[in-house]
């Protein structure tokens, strides 16, 4: 003799179908249509989870009503999760590309600004200064005599330039950010410390840098290119703020 069916067991009439859980369909549609946005992708995942929880629900008379749509809910959650992971990978790769591009451009510009005329002439493979070093405002860029005097003063302290290393980077502004880099320039006879300030070309990704100001400290004296103060002025103490590197 078979046991009687539980009182709360779902009762189905012949030919009837279970109702579709609307949140399951909403999860799939949200993932397919609006999943490109991280916020709506999260909404699609939440909707799918709630839909799965509502697949079996209690009716007002105490019966359990089963609904269909588990496949739609799982599909919506899976698509939204895949989109989120893809966006995270893309943003991480884009950040690495931007940082590498800015560091490469800054290093090349600083090296060209510190390169002495003799070293540039001796290196037949050196990139011409007009191509390697581009200033923010061409009308206020230093002339060749000023650049030669600056590079000669740097070479007199550290010798021939060997390597430039970026130590810190700060970014100010959003629409047209200004980037300031601190660097160490290693030469044959010593190391020179300085900063370089760059403007960015609007609408470029990765950003294209244009040199605005190059500053070095030579025996406690600040030298700038272009010259912004009287040579021989003692270097002002740097503010006690910690620079951040993105």
Strands, sheet with 221-225, edge to edge from the N-terminal-most edge strand: 161-172, 178-187, 191-200, 209-218, 221-225
Sequence-separated (6 or more) residues with CB below 8 Å from residue 149: none
Residue 94 tokens, joined: 């884009």
What tens-digit pLDDT sequence spans the chain (246 residues)?
455 545 554 555 444 567 888 899 999 999 988 878 888 899 999 999 999 888 876 666 666 677 888 999 999 999 999 999 999 999 999 999 999 999 999 999 999 889 866 665 565 454 444 445 789 887 778 888 888 899 999 998 898 889 999 999 998 888 788 999 999 999 999 999 999 999 998 888 888 999 999 999 998 899 999 987 544 444 444 444 444 444
Alpha carbon 223 to its chain centroid, in Å, reads 32
For the stretch 202-242, pLDDT in tens is 888 888 999 999 999 998 899 999 987 544 444 444 444 44
- The residue written with tokens 């030469």 in the block is 187
Structural domain spans, the chain: 22-91, 126-225
Global pTM reads 0.65
| Six-digit token string for 25 | 């369909």
Q: Which residue has the tokens 């405002």?
A: 137
């Amino acid at each position: 003799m078979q046991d009687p069916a539980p009182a709360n067991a779902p009762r189905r009439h012949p030919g009837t179908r279970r109702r579709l859980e609307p949140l399951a369909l909403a999860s799939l549609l949200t993932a397919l249509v609006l999943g490109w946005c991280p916020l709506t992708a999260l909404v699609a995942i939440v909707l799918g989870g709630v839909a799965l929880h509502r697949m079996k629900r209690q009716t007002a008379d105490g019966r359990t009503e089963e609904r269909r749509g588990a496949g739609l809910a799982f599909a919506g959650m899976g698509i939204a999760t895949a989109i989120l992971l893809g966006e995270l990978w893309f943003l991480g790769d884009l950040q690495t590309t931007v940082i590498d591009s800015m560091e490469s451009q800054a290093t090349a510009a600083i090296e060209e600004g510190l390169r002495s005329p003799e070293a540039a002439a001796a290196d037949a493979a050196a990139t011409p200064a007009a191509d390697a070093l581009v200033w923010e405002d061409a009308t206020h860029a230093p002339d060749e005599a000023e650049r030669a005097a600056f590079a000669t003063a740097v070479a007199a302290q550290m010798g021939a330039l060997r390597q430039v290393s970026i130590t810190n980077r700060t970014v100010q502004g959003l629409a047209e950010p200004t980037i300031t880099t601190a660097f160490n320039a290693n030469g044959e006879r010593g190391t020179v410390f300085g900063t370089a300030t760059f403007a960015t070309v609007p609408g470029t990704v990765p950003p294209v840098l244009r040199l605005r100001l190059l500053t070095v400290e030579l025996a406690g004296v600040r030298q700038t290119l272009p010259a912004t103060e009287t040579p021989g002025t003692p270097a002002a103490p740097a503010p006690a703020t910690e620079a951040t590197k993105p």
